[in-house]
Amino acid sequence: MLYHDLKRLVRKGEGQTLEFKLKTTHPEKIVKEIVAFANSDGGILLVGIRDDLNIKGVKFPQEDEYVMKKAIEECCYPPINYQLEKIPIEGNREVLAYTIPASDKGPHRVIEGDKPNQGKVYVRVDHESIIAGKEMREILKGRRKKRDVRFQYGKKEEVLMKYLELNHHITVQQFAKAAEIPRKVASRTLILLVLAKVLQIYPQANKEDSFGRVEIET
């Protein structure tokens, strides 16, 4: 990446696939952005960028690179693939650009202590990295298996589709109530329909995730 490419990228501002950090002072917090990108659409993490979009760079890039490498290896599970590019800027500084592809080996977690399977799973929603809900975690597990998903179209699925015709989005709780089924059954049904690519999930930061039909491009 050249400097003018970097400037063009920074001008876009943070979003679904772009995150800025000024320094690597708290690498254990930065890795949640990397995990979220891997669990979502992939993305680029730029280290050395201020919140006001000023390209500051880092003074000792080798030290920051070491700190980040150690944090990614020790705090992310399963391991996450990434590419690092160092972009020189004025003042003998560099910007570290981490490119993280979307992963099919998730759900990736930020490890807490010595129990990798009990870490927090993050996903990316717009410019935020949020903790994934139960259904999102199960969907990530299902995608890892890469199996064709089949389901039976019955009464509850008919209720679901009619609801979505009128409301466009539905939560697990709303589906359970509308179809008069246990929440567990509603949850499993929605997960299967996402894995079958009939529905898509919309993760939410401070409320229940919602589901909607997959939009077909015309």
Residue 116: what pLDDT? 65
pTM above 0.85, yes or no: yes
CA angle 187, 137, 30 (to 5 degrees): 145
Structure confidence by residue, pLDDT tens digits, 94-117: 999 999 999 999 899 999 777 767
Same domain, 71 and 146: no
Q: Which domain holds residue 144?
A: 137-213
Q: Which residue has the higher pLDDT, 214 or 113?
A: 214
Q: What is the pLDDT of residue 101?
A: 97
218 in a structural domain: no
The whole-angstrom separation of Cα 29 and Cα 24 is 9
Q: Give the chain's largest Cα–Cα span.
A: 66
CATH number, residue 147 = 1.10.10.10
Residue that finishes a domain, picked among 132, 161, 176: 132
Claim to verify: residue 147 and residue 99 sit in the same structural domain:
no
Residues 94 and 158 reside in one and the same domain:
no
Residues 88 and 192 in one domain: no
Domain boundary among 110, 132, 154: 132
For the chain, the domain total comes to 2
